[in-house]
Amino acid sequence: MEKDFCSCGSGKKYQDCCEPIISGKTLAPTAETLMRARYTAYAVHNIDFITDSCLREKGQNDIDLEETRRWSEDSQWLGLKIHRTEKGSASDQEGVVEFSASYIRNGLKDEHRETASFKKVNGKWYFSEGRLANTTIVRASPKVGRNDPCPCGSGKKYKQCCLSKNG
């Protein structure tokens, strides 16, 4: 994390923001706070927090731990944007947070946009359900054309170098 600021975008230092929630020292006071901590858990690769903060009702929220770990570790997390919240305050029992998380994985910039539902059980907020929005994947770098110089630095055209090796 750059300059020890929290990945969630709050502008606070990690130890004063999401770290106490992720480590279990404090509870998230609102649904949005839990959403921010869950995003930060992906950025710091704390898969246990991600799974522990899910409300697991019979047959729901089965998490593929290995894929979740791969997504967390193989991605460069670029930022979180909260689009809207509905309820989810300290006095509510349910809440909704619509957000987008930007990241780069396998050279492609992507945005995970979701409307997430949260429930409070015995005073503790949990993620209960998410509905994905349609998003467009965008290359993180320009596409190399066949006649462009090869990005490997050989001095050859791409089609006569790495394209012919990979294609």
Q: What DSSP element (H or E) covers 141?
A: none
Sequence-distant (6+) residues with CB within 8 A of 106 are 74
pLDDT for residue 31: 98
Q: Tens digits of per-residue pLDDT, 154-166?
A: 888 877 888 776 5
Average pLDDT value for residue range 108-132: 95
Sequence-distant (6+) residues with CB within 8 A of 61 are 54, 55, 127, 128, 129
CB distance 100 to 112 below 8 Å: yes
HSE (side-chain half, CA atoms, 13 Å) at 160: 8
Query: What angle do the packed helices 31-43 and 65-74 form, to 10 degrees?
Result: 70
CB distance 113 to 135 below 8 Å: yes
Secondary structure class of 11 (helix, strand, coil):
coil
DSSP per residue, 89-140: STT-SEEEEEEEEEEEETTEEEEEEEEEEEEEETTEEEEEEEEEPP---EES
pTM for the whole thing? 0.77
Average pLDDT value for residue range 90-115: 95
Q: Which CATH architecture has domain 2-136?
A: Roll (3.10)
Residue 1 pLDDT grade (very low, low, confident, very high; cuts 50, 70, 90) = very low
Alpha-carbon distance of 32 to 69, in angstroms, equals: 23
Nearest to 37, CA basis, from 75, 25, 122:
25
Q: What angle do CA 71, 101, 13 make, to 5 degrees?
A: 100
Q: Is a pLDDT exceeding 70 seen at residue 59?
A: no
Q: Quote the percentage of the chain above a pLDDT of 90.
A: 68
Q: Where are the domains of the chain?
A: 2-136, 142-167
Average pLDDT value for residue range 59-84: 88
Average pLDDT value for residue range 30-54: 97
